[in-house]
Structures are given as C-alpha cells and as structure tokens.
C-alpha cells in the first residue's frame, strides 16, 4: 500500500539559493510518513498506537526543487518486520 501527498514549494521551504532546503525536505517527508500512518489506521492520537523512531535517513537528490514547484511525494513501505520497517519516498 502506498500514499501520495501533493504540495507546492513555498519560500519558507527554500535556502538562500532558492532550492528546497534539506531541513524542509525532512519535514515534508515526515508529513508524507504521517499520511501513510493515517491511511493504515495508525493515528497519532490512538493510545494503543505503535510508536516509531527514525534511526537512519538517506537522500539521493536527483534534481532541484524551487519555489512554486508542485511536488508529489509517494510513500511506499519497502519492508515491514516485527521490530523494524523501511519505506521509500519518491518525488515526481
């Protein structure tokens, strides 16, 4: 199962060169991950929810993102085990 999230890059998402800032990218992917949790029924306010901790993040930047660009972020789980899960976010 995968989810898609669409957003437009705003000024506050960019660095002094006008590119999508790496910190903003992390926050955007966090929103995408939360959307995936929500679609799976793993809501943040559920007292019985499973908790997750991010222990590793790897980015491969293939092209630049600028103010005004519309990004579509697709979140797809790659592996889900009993103690660990990995997912992939792609931008198109």
Please write the tens of the pLDDT for every residue from 23-75.
999 898 888 888 888 887 776 676 666 667 778 888 888 888 899 999 888 88
Per CATH, the number for 3-91 is 3.10.129.10
What does the pLDDT read at residue 8?
94
What does the pLDDT read at residue 80?
73
What does the pLDDT read at residue 64?
86
What does the pLDDT read at residue 49?
65
What does the pLDDT read at residue 63?
84
Distance CA 30, CA 18 (A): 21
What does the pLDDT read at residue 91?
63
Distance CA 39, CA 86 (A): 17
Phi first, then psi, for residue 34 (nearest 5°) are -60, -40
């Amino acid at each position: 199962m995968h989810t898609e999230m669409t957003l437009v890059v705003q000024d506050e998402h960019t660095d002094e060169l006008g590119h999508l800032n790496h910190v903003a990218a992390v926050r955007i992917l966090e929103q995408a991950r939360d959307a995936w949790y929500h679609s799976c029924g793993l809501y943040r306010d559920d007292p019985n929810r499973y908790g997750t901790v991010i222990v590793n993040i790897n980015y491969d930047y293939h092209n630049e993102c600028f103010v005004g660009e519309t990004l579509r972020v697709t979140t797809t789980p790659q592996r889900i085990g009993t103690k660990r899960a990995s997912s992939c976010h792609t931008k198109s």
